[in-house]
Amino acid sequence: MCGRYTQHQSTDQIVIRFEVDSVLHETTPRYNIAPTQRAPVVLQARVGSGRVLDAFKWGLIPSWAKDPTIGNRLLNARAETAAEKPSFRSALSRRRCLLPADGYYEWQAVGKAKQPLYYHFIDTDLFAFAGLWETWNSPEGEAVHSFTILTTEPNSLAAVAHDRMPVILGREDEALWLDPEVTDVNRILHLMRPAEAERMAVYPVSPRVNKPADDDAGLVEPFVPGNDHNTSPSHPLTLF
């Protein structure tokens, strides 16, 4: 599962990290990227073309869809079955992308409440979710570009909160994932595996993240109960 994530690095940082050749959309710091919103994607659409940084809508709309609201149900794709599902199998073969991120949120049940947690890497500020993208043409002729995030079984740290986690590609695997010449999905199935738990960290954050309209740096600060604004906590709560 992946329902919210962050990407607050600069366009230049993304360009350098992912070896982008062309920027079609400048990025802005985001601390609460939510479904249906536009977010940065890196893709290589054709053989011989360079890598492009653009922004697509979160929620995959297959090219054959009659109703674009299907995208609201296709925010994630299970890695184990994506090659079999009509909504994902063509994209898995021919339209894979990188989704730049620096962390993601998950919710842990604490009594009758749910405590939001922030997962990130210890050894890097910027990584990539494995994504799939599509283009859907509306009856009015508008081209809508959208994406979904692949998920897999959780590592030991992610399992604290959920039975799924986003597929986070190893840096050494990103070129193969993007390669438009690779259309045999058997060559990329092994890339969709859980990230190493030892490289990751997690801590509680403010319930303000529940509101998509809230999108500021305070959301990724460690949470202190009773500090509603959560701007400068001095004694971070840990659940682990």
Q: Catalytic pick from 97, 106, 134, 174? A: 106
Q: What is the mean pLDDT of residues 207-222?
A: 96
Active site residue 97: no
| pLDDT confidence band for 26 (50 / 70 / 90) | very high
Q: Catalytic pick from 2, 134, 174, 221? A: 2
pLDDT of residue 237: 38
Q: What are the pLDDT digits (tens) for 106-162? A: 999 888 889 999 999 999 899 999 999 999 999 888 999 999 999 999 999 999 999
Q: What is the mean pLDDT of residues 81-103?
A: 97
- CATH code: domain of residue 169: 3.90.1680.10
Q: Is 48 domain-assigned?
A: yes
pLDDT of residue 235: 32
Domain that holds residue 162: 4-103+124-199
197 vs 233, residue with greater confidence: 197
Q: Is 18 domain-assigned?
A: yes
Q: How many CA atoms lie within 13 A of 104 on its CB side?
A: 24
| pLDDT confidence band for 40 (50 / 70 / 90) | very high
Pair of tokens at residue 204: 């509680």
Contacts 24+ apart (CB under 8 A), 139-142: none
Contact 88, 165 (CB under 8 A): no
In this structure, the number of other CB atoms found within 10 A of the CB of residue 176 comes to 16
Residues near 219 by beta carbon (within 8 Å), at least 6 away in sequence: 6, 31, 32, 205, 206, 208, 209, 230
Burial of 224 by CB count in 10 Å (0-12 exposed, 13-18 middle, 19+ buried)?
Answer: middle
Q: Is 159 domain-assigned?
A: yes
Q: Is 204 domain-assigned?
A: no
Q: What is the DSSP letter of 178?
A: H
Q: Is 205 domain-assigned?
A: no
Q: Is 156 domain-assigned?
A: yes
Q: Is 32 domain-assigned?
A: yes
pLDDT of residue 231: 42
Per-residue pLDDT at 193 exceeds 70: yes
Q: Count of domains in the chain?
A: 1
